[in-house]
Amino acid sequence: MNGSTPQNQFLVALFILLVVHTGVSAGAYRWLTKTTVQEWPKDKIVETTTPEQAQRGEKVYIGNKRVVSRSVPWPVPCYIIGGYVGLAVAVCIWFVRQGRAG
């Protein structure tokens, strides 16, 4: 009966670490990501007619174009990936130890 207590403690600790890491990762991604929006000039109209549309006699124009870009600092994905890899390594080590014990 006492043998399962450390296993349960490990699984609870792993679950708590998973939840905390996910929350911190989501927060870091949300608050450290920089979003920029570039507007094209209102008077600049670009024709984007494809050859198929031209054969049908159609013309397509783009008038109000916005370019949205997101910039994520490189430590954020490294932290996110590293945290999940660390948790996966902990689970693998736990499985190996369970296999040797049982």
pLDDT along the chain (102 residues), means of 10: 70 94 96 91 84 92 85 96 96 88 71
Name which of 19, 10, 65, 12 is nearest 43 in CA terms.
65
Q: Are residues 53 and 65 in the same domain?
A: yes
Q: Which domain holds residue 100?
A: 1-33+72-102
- Rounded CA-CA distance 87/10 in Å is 12
- For residue 27, what is the DSSP state? H
> Residue 63 is encoded by which pair of tokens?
């008038």
Q: Which residues pair with 34 in a beta bridge?
A: 71
Residue 20 has a CB neighbour count (10 Å cut-off) of: 11
Q: Are residues 43 and 16 in the same domain?
A: no
The total domain count for the chain is: 2
Q: Are residues 26 and 3 in the same domain?
A: yes
- Categorise residue 70: left if φ over 0, alpha if ψ from -120 to 50, beta otherwise: beta
pTM over 0.85? The answer is no
Q: Are residues 78 and 28 in the same domain?
A: yes
